A = this chain, B = another copy of it.
Amino acid sequence: MTSPTITVWNEFVHERDSDVVADIYPDGIHAVIADALEEHGFETQTATLDEPEHGLTEDVLDDTDVLTWWGHAAHDQVDDHIVERVKERVLDGMGLLVLHSAHYSKIFKSLMGTTCSLKWREAAERERLWIVEPSHPIVSGLDDDYIELEEAEMYGERFDVPAPETLVFNSWFEGGEVFRSGCCYRRGAGKVFYFRPGHETYPVYHDESIQQVLANACEWAAAGENQPSPTYGNADPIEDIDTSDDRTVH
């Protein structure tokens, strides 16, 4: 099997506006994520908000098995037309990784159908992501019962999302909150993984365990080459039944 191709999308705003962020991600969060995924054997490309069509042209998406999405300050600058395009691809089988503050992205809210609200706090506090389902491929290769991050933004329950099909990580925060931090969904023919960590002012995406999870999630979210495509719409009966009834208003 050829390696899946990952398109790493980033709004790429904070890295240009904030020295704190630029120090951690001089070439952007997307560059660090893309490098990590390449080291794990994926083909990668990046795309950012300020490119034409946000870098998410039909051609780019045609060549994307999994799209990762990081956004925070500029959710409302993402063109609705592009959001719709991405959504169609997800429902058609493209994988989607929704990262950290992208819980409030248009694409995630549209796929979830809820507000995706939560509690939050920036206090560089400790987070511990406990593994809930050891048999899920997304936690493969993790050495401990949890991933510990010394500095994290807190996200706390209630997280206003539909209950995930599989809850993979469950987070503890120093300040007293918990959060469903790794959530797997199916939407249409596509798979969606929400992964909580990733605040821009802490070096989260440099963490090897976080990179391992991202790589695992890309592998999980990519559609298999032979994934079936369901058919929809008006259908003739398969069995031999009487179809002479003509009471129809269609």
A interface with B by C-beta (< 8 Å): 14, 17-18, 20-21, 72-73, 91, 93, 110-115, 117-125, 128, 130-137, 139-145, 151, 154, 156-158, 160, 162-163, 165-167, 170-178, 180, 185-191, 200-202, 223-239, 241-243, 245, 247-250
Contact = CB atoms under 8 A, between A and B. Distances in A.
B226 A145 contact: no
Contact of A231 (B111, B119, B225, B238): B119
A145 B157 contact: yes
Nearest to A110: B113
Given A120-B235, A233-B120, A241-B123, A158 B130 contact: yes
B124 A245 contact: yes
Given A236-B121, A249-B200, A230 B176 contact: no
Contact of A180 (B135, B170, B176): B170
Contacts of A157: 130-132, 145, 170, 230
A140 B224 contact: yes
A191 B135 contact: yes
A249 B176 contact: no
10 contacts: A18-B249, A113-B187, A119-B232, A121-B235, A125-B241, A131-B158, A134-B189, A174-B241, A176-B239, A177-B235
The 8 closest A-B pairs by CB, nearest first: A175-B237, A176-B238, A124-B245, A117-B232, A158-B230, A201-B247, A141-B226, A119-B235
A228 B157 CA distance: 13
A14 B249 CA distance: 7
B160 A228 contact: no
Contact of A21 (B111, B114, B249): B249
A245 to B, nearest CB: 4
B156 A119 contact: no
A172 B218 CA distance: 30
A228 B176 contact: no
Given A120-B233, A124-B242, 16 more contacts: A21-B249, A93-B134, A111-B114, A121-B237, A122-B247, A125-B242, A130-B178, A135-B189, A143-B228, A145-B157, A145-B158, A157-B170, A160-B232, A163-B167, A172-B173, A202-B247
Nearest to A226: B141
Contacts of A172: 172-173, 176-178
